Structure 1
Amino acid sequence: MKKYIVDIVLIIIGSFIFSAGINYFAIPHELGEGGVTGITMDLYYLFQWSPGVTNLILNAILLVIGYKLLDKWVTYYTIISIACTSFFLHVTEGMGAALGETILGTIFAGVFIGVGVGLILRTGGTTGGSAILARLTNKYFGWSISYSLLLFDSLVVFGSYFIIGAEKVMYTIVSLYIATKIIDYIIEGLNSRKAVTIISQYADQIATQVNEKMNRGVTIFSARGNYTKEAKEVLYIVINKQELLGLKKLVHKIDDEAFVVIHDARDVFGKGFTFPSTQEASKAN
């Protein structure tokens, strides 16, 4: 229950940040946006229709179409997200003002929208609209969520050319790219760690020191050198980035000829790190 409450709080926060990105930065600089939000912004530019109201109506239609193809918790979280986003879009409407430089508005719009959408997607929900389509393509075709969003959003953005013009479309593409990178980082990179492979003739000593001094587990693989034909033990360790320097010093002190390979681990969960998302946990139960 605590996990669900945390997820809902994150959805509310993400919805507010996303809405702030639209009303404080995107609309004052007459930028476009992808998906349903982009359509609501175009309708606002043309007819002054409230983005919050049109966002709610259009997303509700898409949700009715796609809810049977989404997992139960994705659907619940998406309903909460759509309601919160529509509410915050309506409440913050007209509060933003254009900055001195359009590029500043573009950058901040991308950052705010990326953080907001990323937090929502991180919980297992969606912001509705193209995010529903992105979730479906991720589920059935294995497409990256962030780049699926970029594809669907780009179709809407290019259609906005006839409303906001070529220059603002180009600024919008920059904003979308920034948002996409941030979404990708939040979904896959918040739990980034370093995976370290060590080949040393003093493998047991290194493993013992890592266990005792760093309180980290070590996996030992048996291997054989192709050139020397000698049997070797290979250590595999996953650590926080902050622990990397300490591990390097530890290994160098024991064996300054050890062969060490450091890998980026995009997402790590489990004992000692983090745990699966609510969606995954609910499936496990």
Structure 2
Amino acid sequence: MKSIVKNGLEIIAGALIYALAINYFLIPNRIGEGGVTGLTALGYYTFRIPPALTNFVLNGILILVGFKFLKRETVFYSLWAVLWISLFLRVPVFLPYHTSQTVIAAIAGGVLMGISMGLIFRAQGTIAGSTILAKIVNRYLGIRNGSAMLFFDLIVAIPSGMVIGFQNMLLTVLELYISAVVLNKYLDALGAKRSVLVFSKHNQAIGKALSTNLGQGVTMLKATGFYSQQEMDALFYICSNRDWTAVMPIIMSVDPEALVVTDQVRSVRGFHLPEL
């Protein structure tokens, strides 16, 4: 229940930032978007269709697709995100950001969009639209969420130049690129794991210290030195970035001469990390 409440609140925060980016930076400066959001903006520019209505209808269709390919919890969190985005998009806009330097609006909108989607993705949800498709591609092909999302967004953004003009189409592409980069960096910084491989004569003691202090399992592997042909244990450990700062001091306190190999891990499946 604690996890559900935490994810729900993160999604609400992400939805608020997302709506601020759309209503205060993108629409006032006629900057488009990709995916369903891009179609939402085009519908508003061309036919004055309320963004909340277009967002809800089109995303509802894509969420039905998500039921077939994604986990049920992801789909339900996505519904929660779409609901709050639709509500926040209906909030009256006060002091929208109009500027002749529209590149500033594109950069600001891209950063806010990246942060908002990072919050929602971290909470196991999506904003539907292209992010549903990106999640599916990430799950089955391993392509990073931001990169997959950028591909699907550009399919809508580039043709939008016929409605919003060539210059604004270029600004849209810039905004999409920035949001994809921010999303990837956000997920890498907060969602990635680290793997640790330790070679030491004291691996049993190191494993016990890591397990006792950090409360996670440690894997012992059998290894053989090529030159000496001597068998020894190799310790393999996966941790969050939050715990990483404690891992090296624990290892060094047991064996300062241990050989430690570390690497950044983009995705871990079937592995439980407490309170993440």
TM bin, normalised by shorter chain, reads: 0.7 to 0.9
Q: Between Structure 1 and Structure 2, how many residues are aligned?
A: 270
User: 3-state DSSP class of the match of 2:165?
Assistant: helix
Residues 122 and 191, structure 2, Cα contact 8 Å, conserved in 1: no
What SS does the aligned partner of 1:235 have? strand
Give CA deviations for 1:3-51 in whole Å, capped at 9, x if unaligned: 3333332222221111111112222332211111111112223344332
CA distance in 2, matches of 1:141, 1:262: 25
Partner of 1:106: 106
Does 2:187 align with 1:184?
no
Report the secondary structure of 1:190's partner residue.
Answer: helix
**Within 5 A, what are the aligned runs for 1:68-107?**
68-69=67-68, 71-93=71-93, 95-99=95-99, 101-107=101-107
Contact 1:12 1:81 in 2 (8 A): yes
Is 1:195–1:238's contact at 8 Å kept on the other side of the alignment?
yes
Q: Which amino acid aligns with 2:68?
A: L
Check 1:67–1:191 CA distance in 2 against 1; reply closer, same or farther (3 A cut): closer
Residues 199-208 or 47-56, more deviating: 199-208
Structure-2 residue corresponding to 1:194: 194
Aligned Cα RMSD in Å? 3.2
Structure 2 alignment gaps of length 5 or more: none
- Aligned pairs for 1:17-166 (under 5 A) are 17-63=17-63, 66=65, 68-69=67-68, 71-93=71-93, 95-99=95-99, 101-138=101-138, 143-166=143-166
SS in 2 for 1:197: strand
Alignment of 1:218-229 (within 5 A): 218-229=218-229
Note the alpha carbon deviations across 1:83-140, whole angstroms, 9 max, x for none: 2212211214464213574333222211211222232233333322223333444455
In 1, the alpha carbon distance for the partners of 2:251 and 2:141 equals 40
Match of 1:270 in 2: 272
Instruction: Quickly say closer, same or farther: Cα 1:266–1:189, change in 2 above 3 A.
Output: farther
- Using structure 1 for the length normalisation, give the TM-score: 0.78
Sort the Cα spacing of 1:195 and 1:50 in 2 relative to 1 into closer, same or farther, 3 A. Answer: same
Structure 1 residues 245, 25: closer, same or farther in 2, change over 3 A? farther
Identity %: 31
In structure 2, do the counterparts of structure 1 residues 221 and 137 end up closer, same or farther at CA, with 3 Å as the change threshold?
Answer: closer
Give yes or no for contact 1:23–1:94 (8 Å, CA) kept in 2.
no
Give 1:162 deviation, angstroms: 1.6
Please say if residues 206 and 251 of structure 2, whose CA atoms lie closer than 8 Å, have aligned partners that are also in contact: no
Give the Cα separation in 1 of the matches to 2:62 and 2:217: 47
Residue in structure 1 matching 2:253, options 247, 250, 253: 250
Q: Which moved more, 1:183-192 or 1:166-175?
A: 183-192
Q: 1:156 to 1:94 in 2, by over 3 A?
A: farther
Instruction: Give, in whole Å, the separation in 2 of the partners of 1:191 and 1:242.
Output: 15
Aligned partners of 1:35 and 1:152 also within 8 Å:
yes
Q: TM-score scaled by structure 2?
A: 0.80
- 1:186 Cα shift? 4.6
1:15 equivalent in structure 2? 15
Conservation of the 8 A alpha-carbon contact between 1:194 and 1:244 = no
Say if 2:198 and 2:261, in contact at 8 Å, map to a contact too: yes
Following superposition, the deviation at residue 261 of structure 1 comes to: 1.0
Unaligned runs of 5+ in 1: 276-285
Using the TM superposition, give the Cα deviation of residue 234 of structure 1 relative to its aligned residue in structure 2, in angstroms. 1.5
Identify which range, 89-98 or 33-42, moves more after superposition.
89-98
For residues 46 and 62 of structure 2, what CA distance do their matches in structure 1 show?
22
- The alignment status of 1:241 with 2:244, answered yes or no, reads yes
Checking the alignment, whether the CA contact within 8 Å between 2:55 and 2:86 is kept in structure 1 is yes
